[in-house]
Structure 1
C-alpha cells in the first residue's frame, strides 16, 4: 500500500465517521431529546444544528467522493472499474446516492426551512429533512457494512 493510498483511506474514513456518525447522533440522540424543549426553542436549535452540520457535510461529502474515487483509481490501475470487486462498486454507488440525497435535503426542504418564518411550513420542512436524513443514515450504515465486507469475501 502506498503512502498516498493510506492518506486517502484515512481521510475517507474520517469524513465517513463525521457524516454517518453525525446523522446517527442527530436522529437517535438529539431529535428525541428535543421534546423537552419548547417549540420556538426547538426551531432555533434546529436552525443552528443544521447550519453547522450541513456545513460539515458540505465539505465532507466532496472530500469523500474525491478520496473514494482516488482510491478506486489506485486499486483499479489499468483494469479500471471492471477489475474491481462488487463491494467497491457498491460503495461508490451508495456514496453517489448519499450525496444526491444530501443535495436534495440542502436544496429542497432545508432551503424552505431557512426561508420561512411560518411555524407550520418550518415543521413540514423539518419532517421532510428528518425522513431524508433517515434514508441517508440507512444508506450510510449499509455502506459501512459493505466496506467492512471488502476483502473479507
Structure 2
C-alpha cells in the first residue's frame, strides 16, 4: 500500500495540470488567435476544441476528488490533520467542479446545438458565457495552485 500516496499525488497533479493548463491555453492563447476568423470558422473550431478538451476535463473532474480524498485520508487521516490549505483546495475544487458541470450541461449543450444547426448568431451569443465560466474557473484553478504550493508554509 506504500504506492497509493505517490500514485494519488501524481494523478492529482496531472489532472490539475491538464485542466488548468488547458483552460489557460484556451482562454489566453487560442481565443485571441481565433479572433480574426469569420464566425462560422471560429465557432466551428471552438466546437471541435470543446469536444476534445471536455473529455479530458471529465477525467480530471473524476480523478481530482478521488485522489484528493485518498491523499487526505491516506496521508493525513482526516481533514483536521491536513491543514487549512487542504480545506481551501477542497472547497475551491468543488466550486470548480460545480461550475464545470453547469457549463457542460447548460451553455455548452446549447452551444453544441447551435453549432450543429449552423446557427452562428446564437452560438456567438453563447460563447462569451462559456468564456466567462472558463475564465472564472481558470482564476480559481490558479488560486488553488498557489494554495497547493504555499499552503504548507502557512503559520
**TM > 0.5 between the two?**
yes
Aligned to 2:92: 94
**Superposition pairs for residues 4-23 of structure 1, below 5 Å?**
4-23=4-23
Aligned to 2:123: 122
Aligned to 1:65: 65
Task: Using structure 2 for the length normalisation, give the TM-score.
Answer: 0.93
Task: Using structure 1 for the length normalisation, give the TM-score.
Answer: 0.94
How big is the shift at 1:120? 2.0
Aligned to 1:143: 144
> Per the alignment, in what secondary structure is the counterpart of residue 35 of structure 2?
helix
Aligned length: 151
CA-to-partner distance for each residue in 1:100-147, whole Å, 9 max, x for gaps? 010010011000001123222211211110000000000000000000
Q: Which has the higher contact order (CA 8 A, sep 6+)?
A: 2
**What is the aligned-residue RMSD (CA, Å)?**
1.4
Task: Give ranges in structure 2 of 5+ residues lacking alignment.
Answer: none
How big is the shift at 1:66? 0.6
Provide the C-alpha distance between the structure 1 equivalents of 2:11 and 2:80, rounded to a whole number of angstroms: 25
How big is the shift at 1:61? 1.2
Task: Give ranges in structure 1 of 5+ residues lacking alignment.
Answer: none
Provide the C-alpha distance between the structure 1 equivalents of 2:23 and 2:99, rounded to a whole number of angstroms: 13
